[in-house]
Amino acid sequence: VQLQASGGGLVQTGGSLRLSCAASGRHFDNYAMGWFRQAPGKERAFVAGINRSGSNTKYADFVKGRFTIARDNHENTLYLHMNNLEPEDTAVYYCAATWDHGRAVYSDQYAYNNWGQGTQVTVSS
């Protein structure tokens, strides 16, 4: 599967953005998906993950209920709804996919073997 992330941009503190990740290829609903981010000078970090059907999700603690991960298996698209953004959320955001046969949600970046190109999110103070 090939992934194309979009939706990043510049937003003020407290603002919202919706990131999208369009998947090409077949069997999107056989992939567990995730969002990661990497800020300058920092390692890539897990943000949120979702299982194949969308019934299970997992979030990083710093999300604090501000972000929501979702997927539309008919449209082959993964989403990340981000509310109440903070300057600390500034980073390049990546979507990732891994083939899965069950209901797992993965937070370990090494579990993923398909990555999108990233989309920049900048939150101004």
Write out pLDDT tens, residues 25-62: 889 999 999 999 999 999 999 999 999 999 999 999 99
Average of pLDDT values for 113-123? 97
pLDDT in tens, 61-90: 999 799 999 999 999 999 999 999 999 999
**What pLDDT is attached to residue 26?**
86
**What pLDDT is attached to residue 29?**
95
Nearest Cα neighbor of 118 from 4, 40, 11, 34 is 4
